[in-house]
Amino acid sequence: MKLKTIAATVCAMFACGCVSTSTGGFEVSVGEGDPAATSKIDDLSFAERFSVETAGVRREPSGFISAQVRLRNRQGQDASIQYKFAFFSGDGMEIQPDARPWEQTTIHGGETVSLSAVAPDKSAVRFVVRIRRAM
């Protein structure tokens, strides 16, 4: 399984101010053959509560890719989040953009959860998982 540690990347993005002005949360993206995962942060105060321990993508024997992200709640309080996976083809087009709903989970203080999904189509080569505050 191809896993990439990106906690340092996310922390570096916090430090360098790679933050936009919307309040969407944050996202992590990994593709086949990528040397590292990338992150986008829209809500710094929310994103600082978490560390992304690993993020990876692998091609299953069936030909579909599977995405895995390990997310840790760095604070002592429970956090309710919503997350949604999106998959993209080699030409950058999102595959079945409305096929997946937002899912909700609670991460207890100090705990780590694994978020995973399988692409809906064999043409997928990249995924993005979007994470936001539960509404």
107: Cβ–Cβ under 8 A, 6 or more apart, which residues? Answer: 50, 71, 72, 73, 78, 79, 81, 113
pLDDT at 85 over 80: yes
- Measuring CA to CA, how many Å separate 72 from each of 35, 53, 62, 121? 22, 7, 30, 29
pTM, two decimal places: 0.81
| 99 residue type, one letter | A
Q: Confidence band (pLDDT; 50, 70, 90) for 40?
A: very high
pLDDT in tens, 41-50: 999 999 999 9
- Residue 28 pLDDT exceeds 70: yes
Give residue-wise pLDDT tens across range 91-116: 999 999 988 999 999 999 999 999 99
Give the model's pLDDT for residue 31: 94
Looking at per-residue confidence, does 11 or 57 come out higher?
57
Given a cut of 80, whether residue 3 has pLDDT beyond it is no
- In this predicted structure, the answer to whether residue 86 has a pLDDT above a threshold of 70 is yes
On whether the CB atoms of residues 55 and 32 are closer than 8 A, the answer is: no
Question: Domain limits of the chain?
Answer: 3-133
Sign of the dihedral through C-alpha 9, 12, 14, 17: negative
d(CA 33, CA 37): 10
Residue (of 14, 117, 89, 9) closest to 130 by Cα position = 117
The pLDDT of residue 35 is 80
CATH of span 3-133: 2.60.40.3230
